[in-house]
């Protein structure tokens, strides 16, 4: 009987670790292409929550994206609720197999992304400043394009396989010539 309980507990634990597969969104519209959605100006509002749900920081992001040769450059300017500011510049490209790649100064190696329908799932390690030190955190980043101008992003952050927090963002594409 102990073995049966152990097997059931193991199966439930493994099932809880399984996440969505991006291909399940293949029929969803509009199709998300980050180089199309983020071309030009957009802005986002977000928050970082600890794993217990407590909101630690809120932020606003002004984004500018443009194609440069075969790469796409996405500049992000963050204004944090504590008054601090930061920035990140992503370089994005898609390979012939349809896989998205991205680099940024605070990302270890490359971010790898898979898109299908209105969804894009990025996996990467972020060098995150915490209490005067830098901690490497594994990011499981999901983007969902809701309509032509709106995108929702939810990211789970993990350290040693344990979720340490979540980031939620709401993006809005700005009309040409508008400033955030």
Q: Region 5-23: what's the mean pLDDT?
A: 56
pTM: 0.86
pLDDT greater than 80 at residue 95: yes
**What pLDDT is attached to residue 1?**
54
Question: Which position has the higher pLDDT, 24 or 20?
Answer: 24
Q: Is residue 11 part of a domain?
A: no
Mean pLDDT of the chain: 91
Percent of the chain, pLDDT > 90? 83
Q: Is residue 68 part of a domain?
A: yes
45: enclosing H helix or E strand: strand 40-50
Scored b (16 or more CB within 10 A) or e, 136-168 reads: ebbbbbbbbbeeeeebebebbbeeeeeebbbbe
Q: Is residue 19 part of a domain?
A: no
Comparing 10-24, 32-46, 131-145, the range with the smallest average pLDDT is 10-24
Q: Is residue 21 part of a domain?
A: no
Structural domain boundaries, residue 55:
27-173
Q: Is residue 7 part of a domain?
A: no
Please give the tally of structural domains in the chain.
Answer: 1
Q: Is residue 118 part of a domain?
A: yes
What CATH number is given to the structural domain containing 83?
2.40.128.20
pLDDT greater than 60 at residue 99: yes
Q: How many helices (H) and strands (E) does the chain have?
A: 2, 10
What does the block give as tokens for 122? 């990025």
Q: Which of 121, 131, 130 is nearest to 155 (CA)?
A: 121
Q: Is residue 3 part of a domain?
A: no
pLDDT greater than 50 at residue 96: yes
Q: Is residue 45 part of a domain?
A: yes
């Amino acid at each position: 009987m102990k073995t049966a309980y152990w097997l059931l507990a193991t199966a439930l634990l493994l099932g809880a670790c399984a996440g969505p597969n991006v291909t399940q969104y293949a029929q969803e519209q509009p199709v998300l292409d980050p180089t199309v959605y983020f071309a030009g100006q957009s802005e986002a509002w977000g928050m970082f929550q600890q794993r217990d749900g407590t909101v630690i920081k809120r932020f606003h992001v002004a984004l500018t994206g443009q194609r440069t040769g075969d790469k796409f450059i996405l500049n992000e300017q963050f204004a944090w609720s504590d008054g601090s500011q930061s920035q990140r510049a992503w370089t994005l490209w898609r390979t012939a197999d349809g896989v998205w790649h991205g680099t940024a100064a605070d990302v270890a190696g490359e971010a790898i992304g898979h898109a299908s329908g209105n969804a894009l799932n990025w996996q990467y390690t972020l060098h995150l400043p915490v209490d005067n030190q830098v901690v490497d955190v594994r990011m499981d980043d999901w983007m969902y394009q809701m309509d032509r101008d709106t995108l929702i992003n939810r990211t789970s952050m993990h350290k040693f396989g344990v979720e340490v927090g979540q980031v939620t963002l709401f993006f809005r594409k700005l009309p040409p010539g508008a400033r955030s």
